Structure 1
Amino acid sequence: MATNLLNRGAFIVLEGLDRSGKTTLAYLLVKELEQRQIPVEFMRFPDRSKDNVIGDTLNKYLSSGIELNPETSHMLFTTQRFAVKDQMLQKLMEGKVLIVDRYAHSGIAYSVAKGLSLEWCKAKESGLLRPDIVLYLDLLPSEGLKRGNYGEERFETVQFQEKVHNAYDQLLDDSWKILSAHDTPETLVRSALSNILRACELNAHKPVELLYQSGRLDEKSPLKERQPFRTNVLSSQ
């Protein structure tokens, strides 16, 4: 599939514990990019819309309305991501920046916290689009407890969030930028925006890569698989 790679959009993911401020920061970043007349689109996972079966099921599950075993819940979350993979790629090829609130990394971290194998979880996400950068809002689990509406969702307990925090540590690679969730919104936006603009510049002419895969697709394809991730972390500070 031949595709013009000039000025593709950057794929940006926001990750972090519950109540770390991801969604608020995502909305602020979209506003900043729009003011700079940079094409941008916001997405979030999971999609909890009640007008589709998976979304409605996940909404009930996260609200503790139904029970699902860890494997089933993981596959439902993953299915949503794969369902819009081609749509996301198209948006990037149109030159849009994608700001995504939670992605495969959340799916893996939360499932590992439930007791599933890290390698099993990663294998289920293999082949998704790989973000150009992951902005991780670092928050101590005990601090999340102090934020508004904590405890309304299934996994909002300090004990479980500690497990998620530890699982995230196992996913850090060279695409991650660590931001302090304790910073002011203004500081977070300034730091995140700097990383996003840099990612736009660095990746404008590069193929989109695939997550947790090795090798290479046809050179004409906008998709390029990557080697397994490394463990050195680049901080935004």
Structure 2
Amino acid sequence: MFISFEGIDGCGKSTQARLLVRHLEARGTPVLFNREPGGSDGAEAVRALLVEGDPGRWSPVSELLLYMAARRDNLERRIAPALARGDWVVSDRWTDSTRVYQATRGGDRAVVDALQDLVIAREPDLTFVIDMDPERALTRGLARGGEEDRFEQLGLDFQRTIRAGYAALARDYPGRIRIVDGDAAPEAVADRVRALLP
């Protein structure tokens, strides 16, 4: 299976993706952990351009093309081979992030979907959106520190808009996306995630 984790910055999706990887490994399932943007060497190089620096450094279209380039390289070099071997893939973000974030930042959802179909052509089998109050999530995200805070710098209203975008996306893809309440201790949220596995 190809499983992705989504949600606003600071919601705990990265933690949940790693906890699911540990759970799958413990039961003997071969699994590849992935993060977006990133994964392959080329995608990691693009990652720094996307998550560091001035929030306004890229236009929405330029940003979208960078995400697609990183994702395509990662898909070719890591994800597709893992799935072909029969491994599971657990990804900390995938195309749904691009759908929500770039559309919110002035991009066009139809363009994102068209590029996804043309360049990537691979949706996850299952997506967990870790849902959390944006104010709490933003506080957690900013407390992490480090250089990868480009989107946290956009503030609380932006995070609220992103949360609403994920809720709308879940309505668009009800067969694939599951909303998981992230307002609990990590292990409790992990239990909620595991209960939704097929």
Q: What range describes the TM-score normalised by the shorter chain of this pair? A: 0.7 to 0.9
Cα distance between partner residues in 1 of 2:73 and 2:46: 16
Cα distance between partner residues in 2 of 1:170 and 1:190: 25
Aligned to 1:141: 134
2:176 is the counterpart of 1:175: yes
Q: 2:73 aligns with which of 75, 83, 88?
A: 83
Deviation at 1:148, TM superposition (A): 5.2
Cα distance between partner residues in 1 of 2:196 and 2:86: 17
Cα distance between partner residues in 2 of 1:92 and 1:124: 22
Give a deviation string over 1:57-94, Cα, whole Å, max 9, x none.
54144221581111011111111112233442331231
> Where in structure 2 are there 5+ consecutive unaligned residues?
none
2:19 is the counterpart of 1:28: yes
Deviation at 1:140, TM superposition (A): 2.1
Aligned to 2:150: 154
> Where in structure 1 are there 5+ consecutive unaligned residues?
1-9, 199-237
Larger fraction in helix: 2
Moved more, 74-83 or 58-67: 58-67
Please report the TM-score for the alignment, with normalisation by the length of structure 2: 0.84
Q: 1:105 aligns with which of 77, 96, 103?
A: 96
Deviation at 1:14, TM superposition (A): 0.3
Give a deviation string over 1:35-57, Cα, whole Å, max 9, x none.
111111100111188x64x6435
Q: Secondary structure in 1 aligned to 2:142?
A: coil
- Whether the 8 Å contact between 1:12 and 1:99 is mirrored in structure 2 is yes
Please report the TM-score for the alignment, with normalisation by the length of structure 1: 0.71
Q: How does 1:207-218 map to 2 (within 5 A)?
A: none
Cα distance between partner residues in 2 of 1:114 and 1:14: 21
2:32 is the counterpart of 1:41: yes
RMSD: 2.2
Aligned to 2:191: 190
Cα distance between partner residues in 2 of 1:83 and 1:60: 15
Larger radius of gyration: 1
Q: Secondary structure in 1 aligned to 2:34?
A: strand
Aligned-residue identity in percent = 27
With over 3 angstroms needed to count, the CA separation of the structure-2 counterparts of 1:68 and 1:55, relative to structure 1, is: farther
- Whether the 8 Å contact between 1:133 and 1:176 is mirrored in structure 2 is yes
Instruction: Count how many residue pairs are aligned between Structure 1 and Structure 2.
Output: 186
- Whether the 8 Å contact between 1:17 and 1:165 is mirrored in structure 2 is yes
- Whether the 8 Å contact between 1:144 and 1:150 is mirrored in structure 2 is no
Cα distance between partner residues in 2 of 1:84 and 1:148: 25
Cα distance between partner residues in 1 of 2:90 and 2:139: 27
Deviation at 1:183, TM superposition (A): 2.0
With over 3 angstroms needed to count, the CA separation of the structure-2 counterparts of 1:79 and 1:35, relative to structure 1, is: same
Moved more, 70-79 or 183-192: 183-192
- Whether the 8 Å contact between 1:82 and 1:128 is mirrored in structure 2 is no
- Whether the 8 Å contact between 2:34 and 2:90 is mirrored in structure 1 is yes
Cα distance between partner residues in 1 of 2:141 and 2:168: 28
Cα distance between partner residues in 2 of 1:100 and 1:189: 15
- Whether the 8 Å contact between 2:10 and 2:137 is mirrored in structure 1 is yes
With over 3 angstroms needed to count, the CA separation of the structure-2 counterparts of 1:151 and 1:39, relative to structure 1, is: closer
